[in-house]
């Protein structure tokens, strides 16, 4: 990923403003790794572009040259498989999404728990839900890098006009959606029900948890098709099929398409990751930030709010030839001040914060209208997250197909979910 | 025998309507994607037919964020490289199949043709072998004999006589090969590193976590397709002949 | 100049080609074959696992409902695709056979779709079929208003048609030219004689032209079937195999199993099932064109 000189200078300036003493803080004294090059595979996103702009500062402090190579989200899975099978030392660090991590443990990523301790990295600075996907086999295999929580985004202006209060339960969502469709030309809510990387399950997990069910039980047997689970699934698809609150095309929307519908002014609500905030700030958005409202994700009446978390970690390639330098970079880039400098940089609109200090930071919350406090609240009360097992990946594939079949009317909730549970059980059994 | 005028007119009208439909069906997607490439980003999700065209999207894809220029280069290198390697090999083999008799000839020819049916593989040899009718068989045997009597060795024979006379066929095959390689997606996806990425895979970078950047996809799409259009135009006459000749006898 | 000199020439001429073919096809084919007999799941280990004999194949045919869905989907896609494309190609061939400026222009124009890569066609189609901002969706809705609220990619039938339309757009011209050659080889005198005898155009077509075209048509159908079985790029970019599994053909399923679910052994077995089918088809193809060559 190449950054223009202008961007690099701006990044350095922003960093200097936010954390003037940072450059020296987290790095080993005396530039012991000067001259080495560290290559990092990152998923293409504005957050890593922002980090890339700050790299020159790191280089100046340590003499280590860092090269970001960005891979598009759509190709990441294949790329990782190829790198892993080849045992390649090409990349020293890589950002990987939670569900893709388990197969990489010890096959591509090596443990770094001892190193982090030695470098004085305090793991308590991360919310448990974010840190969970870095922990395997009683050791630490990476650090949270890009973490997302879910929020309900809605059209503040329309809700104001129609006198709709912010939905707190899924029933509220249905009545809000119906009112919107009655009085305006917009669709009530935009949710992806199409197939891509399990995206049609992200909001559904919250329905499951709110109803008292889960994907697996304590013995790692699928339980999402128990009575509570089936009810949760029915409620989830009723929004689309019974109340018809979604735009045409929602049945094959992926997450990006669903958000586009709201960004282009065609839907009034979109439950999605906090990072879509960025999209409303962009030039091609038909809905400006002033019209945007957000709230914690709704839940069932009487249940505590939950959020599914989507986390990416920075892992270290066990075949890396410059491991110490890579760790040096990892320590530096995960310093809270680096994250903070991106959050308060007026040139960036990236909302990702992975650490408590930044989530509760006054300036950050002022800039993003309290979003991070919402996030912190949700993280404190969320007890559940995805299971960290390698079989989760094919299980997600099975579940998303089932969900899509229900949404397109090809199968009933019971048939699709029971079939999926049977398939998942088989996957788990193959061991 | 006089035909009733109305029937003739109805047929004619239907014919013209169909021709127009064919033209429209063929061109519509291309025209729409070209338009999208030149649309300002605010209008991408709208169906405007009239707008002020802008070069912003092209500027953006060539910028350091996406480096499409580099990818064009990679595509070129890969495609040209393939042609440079594959065509000479194919010419030699085609000559052997066309002119010589040898054991296992039929079996080998079948095997080469068979490889074309393997999923996921696009090599030029079988195509060239199908096209060989165009050039080699048309070369009179006498010319060859004359050359051999004059003392030209095998290499000389190939280079000085066969190649020039088979040039249209070779050129067509070369261009066909170029097009196939340029458009190759699966192998490029799996085999290339992240730096050296050809355009066909590069276009996937516009599919972000948060959605697809259609305006950049279409701009890059135009860049991918334009060279192909020119090449296709160049070979269209030979292409047509090749298709009709190579299919049946 | 036959004899030893000749044989040496042949060896030299063929060696590079055989080498390339061997490396790029024999080796990968062999390796895939070997893989399909092993349990190799990347979520478990980087190295190929235990030898399990025919288990992958047996599982596919007896224990995996998804496999049979995929076979059904593949059969349906191939039939629709081949029928639609060959019919369109035939229509195009008849239409564009004659001389004239417009026809000549159209003959040139229809080469353009062939030059566009299927991956790109898939992406563009997905963009143009989107219910909110898709140009094709809106054009169709204008002529057929009841389609305005339809999501093409949510219905198995419509998603299949969308895919077929993309494949047809790309391949019909190619086959049209092939069929034009066939049409051209119908002896003109026979046609003249029939016309003089008073036969209508339609009669002439069905009782003379079509039978004469039988060989070309057969070749075209076989070839198109092969291409249809190999369709992959556009499925990845347009429908992602959906809705559900309804556009997951064998080719796509094999890729998904290997590179998304990381089950390399099983994927290899699936890929081989596809390869066997293709090889069988290719034998028919060669039977048809080989007799005329020596």
pLDDT in tens, A286-339: 899 999 999 999 999 888 878 889 899 999 999 999 999 999 999 999 999 999
Q: Check pLDDT > 60 for residue B111.
A: yes
Positive or negative: CA dihedral C15, C20, C25, C28:
positive
Contacts 24+ apart (CB under 8 A), A376-381: A376/A127, A377/A296, A377/A305, A378/A149, A378/A150, A378/A296, A378/A297, A378/A305, A378/A306, A378/A307, A379/A127, A379/A128, A379/A129, A379/A130, A379/A149, A379/A307, A379/A309, A380/A127, A381/A304, A381/A305, A381/A306
Tell me the CATH number for domain B67-247.
1.10.3720.10
Q: Which residues of A touch C263 (CB under 8 A)?
A: 394
Give the global pTM: 0.80
Query: Cβ of A107 and C46 within 8 Å?
Result: yes
* pLDDT, tens digit only, all 294 positions of chain C: 445 566 777 777 777 777 776 776 677 777 778 888 988 887 777 677 888 989 999 989 998 889 999 999 999 999 999 999 999 999 999 888 877 888 888 888 888 888 787 888 988 899 899 888 888 999 999 998 888 888 899 889 999 999 999 999 999 998 998 888 888 878 878 888 888 888 787 888 888 888 888 888 888 898 899 889 988 888 988 998 878 899 999 989 988 887 777 788 888 888 888 888 888 887 777 777 665 444
Q: What is the pLDDT of residue B119?
A: 47
Find the angle CA(C173)-CA(C179)-CA(C182) to the nearest 5 degrees.
155
Kindly report the three-state secondary structure assignment for every residue of A229-292: HHHHHHHHHHHHHCCCCCCCCHHHCCHHHHHHHHHCCCECEEEEEHHHHHHHCCCCCCCCHHHE
**Residue A138 or C184, more confident:** A138
Cβ-nearest to C240 among A87, A196, A266: A196
B47 close to A (CB below 8 A): no
Which tokens belong to C216?
A: 């070309």
Query: Is the CB of C127 less than 8 angstroms away from the CB of B217?
Result: yes
Under the banding of pLDDT at 50, 70 and 90, the label for residue B46 is confident
- Whole-number pLDDT of residue B156: 55
Domain parsing of chain C, residue ranges: 64-289
Q: How confident is the model over C238-264, as pLDDT tens digits?
A: 998 878 899 999 989 988 887 777 788
Residue A25 binned pLDDT confidence (cut-offs 50, 70, 90): low
Subunit contact A256:B212, Cβ cutoff 8 A: yes
The reply to whether residue C14 touches residue B96, judged by beta carbons under 8 angstroms, is yes
- Per-residue model confidence (pLDDT) at position A332: 92
Q: What are the residues whose beta carbons fall under 8 Å from the beta carbon of B137, sequence distance 6 or more?
A: B98
In angstroms, rounded to a whole number, what is the distance separating the alpha carbons of residues C144 and C166? 20
Cα nearest neighbour of A194 on chain C: C243
- β-bridge mates for residue A299, sequence order: A169
Residue A172 has pLDDT above 50, yes or no: yes
Q: What is the pLDDT of residue B53?
A: 83
Q: Mapping DSSP to helix (H, G, I), strand (E, B) and coil, where does residue B211 land?
A: strand
A248, A394, A401 ranked by CB distance to C245: nearest: A401
Q: Cα C271 from chain centroid?
A: 16
Residue B72 vs residue A297, higher pLDDT = A297
Q: If you measure CA to CA, which chain B residue comes closest to C135?
A: B47
User: Three-state SS string across C82-128, please?
Assistant: HHHHHHHHHHHHHHHCCCCHHHHHHHHHCCHHHHCCHHHHHHHHHHH
* Secondary structure class of A65 (helix, strand, coil): strand
The two three-digit tokens of residue B189, written as one number: 């996806």
Q: How far apart are CA A249 and CA A329, in angstroms?
A: 43
| H-helix segments, chain B | 5-38, 56-62, 68-99, 105-115, 125-135, 141-149, 154-156, 163-165, 167-183, 186-191, 199-202, 214-247
With a cut of 50, say whether residue A59 has pLDDT above it. Answer: yes
Regarding predicted confidence, which is higher, B129 or C117?
Answer: C117
pLDDT surpasses 50 at B134: no
CA distance B108 to chain C (A): 9
pLDDT value of position A202: 93
pLDDT at A242 over 90: yes
The residue assigned the tokens 């972000």 is B208
**pLDDT for the residue B141:** 46
Exposure on the CB side of residue B22, measured as CA atoms within 13 A: 29
- For residue B64, the distance in angstroms to the closest alpha carbon of chain C comes to 23
The confidence score (pLDDT) of residue B54 equals 83
Distance CA A83, CA A69 (A): 14
SS3 content of chain C, % helix, strand, coil (to 5): 75, 0, 20
CA distance linking residue A154 with residue A159, whole number of Å: 8
| Res B242 pLDDT > 80 | no
pLDDT of residue A188: 94
Whether the pLDDT of residue B193 is over 50: the answer is: no
- For the residues B204-229, what does the mean pLDDT come to? 74
B148-165 pLDDT, tens digit each: 445 445 555 555 555 555
Q: How far is C289 from chain B (nearest CA, A)?
A: 7
On the CB side of A231, CA atoms within 13 Å amount to 8
Q: Given this model, what pLDDT does residue A352 score?
A: 92
Using an 8 Å CB-CB cutoff, list chain B residues near A79: 194
Distance from CA of B231 to the nearest CA of A (A): 30
Under an 8 A CB cutoff, do A107 and C246 touch? no
Q: Place A135 in a pLDDT band, splitting at 50, 70 and 90.
A: very high
From B210's Cα to the closest Cα of chain A, the distance in A is 5
- The rounded distance, in Å, linking the Cα atoms of C10 and C2 is 11
Quick check: A341 and A15 in contact, CB under 8 A? Answer: yes
Q: Is the pLDDT of residue B61 over 80?
A: no
Question: Between chains, do C242 and A410 touch, taking CB under 8 Å as contact?
Answer: no
Among A239-253, B70-84, C221-235, whose mean pLDDT is lowest? Answer: B70-84
Please write the tens of the pLDDT for every residue from A147-171. 999 999 999 999 999 999 999 999 9
Contacts of A195 in chain C (CB under 8 A): 240-244
Q: Which chains does chain C touch, 3 or more C-beta pairs < 8 A?
A: A, B
Rg (CA), chain B: 24
- Nearest Cβ partner of A259 from B194, B195, B211? B211
Q: How confident is the model at residue A69 (pLDDT cuts 50, 70, 90)?
A: confident
| Residue B75 predicted with pLDDT over 90 | no
- Which of C105, C112, C166, C278 is the best mutation test for B, with the most CBs of B within 10 A? C112
B200 shares contact with chain A (CB less than 8 Å): no
Q: Which residue of C has its CA nearest to B98?
A: C294
**CA distance linking residue C125 with residue C134, whole number of Å:** 9
- Contact list in B for residue A284 (CB cut-off 8 A) is 41-42, 44-45, 215
Residues of C in contact with A407 (CB under 8 A): 154, 243
Residue A173: predicted pLDDT: 95
Closest alpha carbon within chain C to B49: C135
Residues of A in contact with B195 (CB under 8 A): 69
Residue A246 has pLDDT above 70, yes or no: yes
pLDDT at C86 (0 to 100): 96
CATH topology of domain A5-147+309-381: D-Maltodextrin-Binding Protein; domain 2 (3.40.190)
Contacts of B207 in chain A (CB under 8 A): 72-74
Least Cα distance to A26 among A355, A315, A324, A328 occurs for A328
The pLDDT tens digits of the residues spanning A256-270 come to 889 999 999 999 999
B245 confidence band (pLDDT: 50, 70, 90): very low
User: Are B209 and A70 inside 8 Å of each other by CB?
Assistant: no
**Could B218 and C124 be called an inter-chain contact, meaning their C-beta atoms sit closer than 8 Å?**
yes
Any idea what DSSP says for residue A316? E
For residue A327, which of A110, A122, A8 has the smallest C-alpha distance?
A110
Give the confidence band of A2 by pLDDT, cuts at 50, 70, 90.
low
**C273 contacts C60 by C-beta, under 8 angstroms:** yes
Q: Which among A73, A78, A260 is the nearest to B209, CB-wise?
A: A73
Closest CA in chain B for residue C111: B232
Write out the H or E segment, with its range, that includes residue A43.
Answer: strand A37-43
3-state secondary structure A360-429: CCHHHHHHCCCHHHHHHHHHHHCCCCCCCCCCHHHHHHHHHHHHHHHHCCCCCHHHHHHHHHHHHHHHHH
Q: With CB atoms and an 8 Å threshold, state whether A72 touches B211.
A: no
Q: State the average pLDDT for chain A.
A: 89
The H or E element spanning position A25 is helix A22-25
CATH of A150-308+391-430, one of 3.90.730.10, 3.20.20.70, 3.40.630.30, 3.40.190.10: 3.40.190.10
Enumerate the residues of chain A whose CB falls inside 8 A of the CB of residue B45: 260, 264, 284, 286
Which of C168, C7, C38 lies closest to B105, judged by CA? C7
- The pLDDT value recorded for residue A147 is 93
In the predicted structure, residue B203 carries a pLDDT above the cut 70: no
Q: How close does chain C come to A338, measured CA to CA in Å?
A: 34
CB A408 to CB C131 under 8 A? no
Distance CA B152, CA B136 (A): 18
Chain C closest CA to B153's CA: distance in Å?
10
Q: Is the dihedral of CA B167, B168, B169, B170 positive or negative?
A: positive
pLDDT at B132: 39
What does each C-alpha distance from A90 to A40, A127, B36 come to in angstroms? 9, 31, 37
Q: What is the rounded CA–CA span in Å between residue A272 and residue A269?
A: 10
- Residue B215 confidence (pLDDT) above 90: no
Residue of C nearest to B231 (CA): C115
A224 neighbors A211 (Cβ within 8 angstroms): no
How far from the centroid of its chain's Cα atoms is residue A186's Cα?
27
At residue C82, the pLDDT reads: 96
Of the candidates A369, A337, A335, A333, the residue with the CA atom closest to the CA atom of residue A351: A369
Q: What is the pLDDT of residue C120?
A: 83
Out of B193, B206, B211, whose CB is closest to A260? B211
Residues 6+ apart with CB under 8 A from A307: A129, A149, A150, A151, A206, A296, A297, A375, A378, A379, A382
| DSSP 8-state assignment for residue B55 | S
Judge: A401–C244 Cβ closer than 8 Å, yes or no. Answer: yes
CATH 3.40.190.10 residue ranges in chain A?
5-147+309-381, 150-308+391-430
Contact B93 C112 (CB under 8 A): no
Residue B185 C-alpha, separation from nearest chain C C-alpha, in angstroms: 7
CA distances from A262 to A154, B163, C121 (A): 8, 61, 27
Q: What is the pLDDT of residue C125?
A: 93
Cα distance between residue A273 and residue A202, in whole Å? 10
| A80 in Cβ contact with A100 (< 8 Å) | yes
**Nearest CB to B41 within list A72, A278, A284:** A284
Which residue in chain C is spatially nearest to A391 when comparing CA positions?
C43
Q: Who among A248, A260, A264 is closest to C151 (CB)?
A: A248
Quick check: A74 and B207 in contact, CB under 8 A?
Answer: yes
CATH topology of domain C64-289: MetI-like fold (1.10.3720)
């Amino acid at each position: 990923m190449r950054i223009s000189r202008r961007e690099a200078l701006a990044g350095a300036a922003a960093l200097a403003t936010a954390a003037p003493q940072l450059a020296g803080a987290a790095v080993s004294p005396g530039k012991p790794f000067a001259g080495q090059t560290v290559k990092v595979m990152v998923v293409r996103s504005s957050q890593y572009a922002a980090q890339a702009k700050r790299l020159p500062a790191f280089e100046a402090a340590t003499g280590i040259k860092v090269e970001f190579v960005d891979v598009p989200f759509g190709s990441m899975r294949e790329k990782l498989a190829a790198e892993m099978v080849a045992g390649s030392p090409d990349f020293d660090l890589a950002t990987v999404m939670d569900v893709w991590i388990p197969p990489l443990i010890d096959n591509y990523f090596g443990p770094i728990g001892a190193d982090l301790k030695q470098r004085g990295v305090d793991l308590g600075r991360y919310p448990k839900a974010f840190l969970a996907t870095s922990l395997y086999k009683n050791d630490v295999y990476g650090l949270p890098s890009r973490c997302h929580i879910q929020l309900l985004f809605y059209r503040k202006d329309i809700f104001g006009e129609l006198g709709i209060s912010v939905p707190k339960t899924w029933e509220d969502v249905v009545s809000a959606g119906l009112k919107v469709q009655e009085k305006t030309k917009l669709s009530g809510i935009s949710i992806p029900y199409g197939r891509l990387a399990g995206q049609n399950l992200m909001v559904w997990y919250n329905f499951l948890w709110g109803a008292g069910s889960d994907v697996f039980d304590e013995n790692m047997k699928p339980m999402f098709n128990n009575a509570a689970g089936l009810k949760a699934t029915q409620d989830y698809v009723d929004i689309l099929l019974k109340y018809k609150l979604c735009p045409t095309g929602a049945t094959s929307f992926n997450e990006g398409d669903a958000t586009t519908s709201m960004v282009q002014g065609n839907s009034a609500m979109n439950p999605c990751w906090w990072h879509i905030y960025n999209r409303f700030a962009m030039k091609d958005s038909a809905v400006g930030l002033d019209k945007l409202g957000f709230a914690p994700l709704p839940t069932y009446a009487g249940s505590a709010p939950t959020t599914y978390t989507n986390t990416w970690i920075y892992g270290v390639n066990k075949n890396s030839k410059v491991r110490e330098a890579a760790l040096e970079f990892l320590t530096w880039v995960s310093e809270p001040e680096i994250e903070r400098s991106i959050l308060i940089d007026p040139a960036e609109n990236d909302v990702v914060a992975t650490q408590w200090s930044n989530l509760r930071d006054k300036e950050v919350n002022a800039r993003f209208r309290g979003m991070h406090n919402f996030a912190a609240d949700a993280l404190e009360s969320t007890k559940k997250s995805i299971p960290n097992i390698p079989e989760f990946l094919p299980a997600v594939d099975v579940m998303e197909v089932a969900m899509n079949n229900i949404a397109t009317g090809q199968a009933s909730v019971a048939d699709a979910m029971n079939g999926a549970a049977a398939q998942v059980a088989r996957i788990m059994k193959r061991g | 025998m006089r035909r009733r005028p109305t029937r003739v007119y109805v047929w004619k009208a239907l014919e013209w309507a169909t021709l127009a439909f064919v033209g429209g069906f063929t061109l519509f997607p291309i025209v729409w994607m070209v338009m999208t490439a030149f649309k300002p980003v605010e209008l991408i999700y709208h169906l405007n037919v009239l707008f002020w065209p802008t070069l912003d999207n092209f500027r953006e894809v060539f910028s350091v964020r996406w480096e499409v220029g580099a990818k064009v280069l990679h595509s070129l290198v890969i495609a040209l490289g393939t042609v440079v390697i594959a065509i000479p090999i194919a010419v030699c083999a085609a000559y052997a199949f066309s002119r010589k008799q040898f054991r296992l000839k039929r079996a080998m020819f079948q095997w080469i043709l068979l490889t074309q049916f393997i999923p996921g593989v696009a090599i030029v040899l079988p195509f060239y072998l199908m096209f060989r009718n165009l050039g080699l068989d048309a070369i009179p045997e006498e010319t060859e004999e004359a050359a051999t009597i004059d003392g030209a060795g095998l290499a000389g024979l190939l280079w000085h006589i066969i190649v020039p006379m088979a040039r249209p066929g070779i050129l067509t095959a070369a261009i066909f090969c170029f097009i196939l390689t340029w458009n190759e997606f699966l192998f490029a996806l799996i085999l290339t590193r992240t730096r050296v990425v050809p355009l066909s895979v590069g276009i996937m970078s516009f599919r972000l976590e948060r959605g697809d950047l259609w305006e950049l996809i279409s701009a890059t799409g135009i860049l991918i397709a334009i060279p192909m259009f020119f090449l296709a135009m160049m070979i269209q006459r030979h292409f047509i002949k090749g298709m009709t000749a190579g299919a049946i006898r | 100049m036959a004899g030893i000199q000749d044989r040496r020439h042949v060896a030299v001429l063929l060696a590079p080609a055989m080498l390339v073919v061997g490396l790029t096809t024999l080796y990968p084919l062999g390796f895939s074959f070997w893989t399909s007999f092993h349990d190799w799941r990347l979520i478990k280990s980087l190295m190929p696992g235990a030898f399990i004999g025919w288990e992958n194949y047996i599982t596919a045919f007896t224990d995996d409902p998804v496999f049979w869905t995929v076979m059904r989907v593949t059969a349906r896609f191939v039939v629709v695709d081949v029928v639609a494309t060959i019919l369109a190609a035939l229509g195009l061939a008849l239409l564009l056979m004659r001389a004239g400026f417009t026809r000549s222009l159209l003959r040139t124009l229809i080469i353009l779709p062939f030059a566009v890569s299927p991956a790109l066609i898939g992406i563009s189609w997905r963009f143009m079929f989107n219910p909110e901002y898709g140009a094709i969706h809106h054009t169709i809705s204008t002529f057929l208003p009841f389609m305005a609220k339809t999501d093409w990619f949510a219905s198995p039938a419509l998603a299949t048609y969308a895919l077929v339309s993309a494949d047809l757009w790309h391949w019909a011209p190619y086959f049209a030219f092939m069929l034009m050659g066939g049409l051209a080889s119908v002896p003109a005198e026979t046609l003249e004689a029939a016309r003089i005898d008073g036969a209508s155009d339609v009669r002439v077509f069905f009782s003379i032209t079509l039978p004469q075209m039988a060989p070309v048509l057969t070749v075209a159908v076989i070839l198109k079937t092969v291409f249809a079985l190999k369709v992959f790029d556009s499925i990845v970019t347009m429908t992602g195999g959906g809705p559900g599994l309804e556009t997951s053909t064998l080719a796509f399923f094999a890729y998904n199993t290997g590179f998304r679910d990381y089950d390399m052994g099983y994927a290899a077995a699936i890929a081989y099932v596809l390869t066997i089918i293709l090889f069988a088809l290719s034998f028919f193809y060669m039977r048809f064109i080989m007799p005329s060559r020596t």
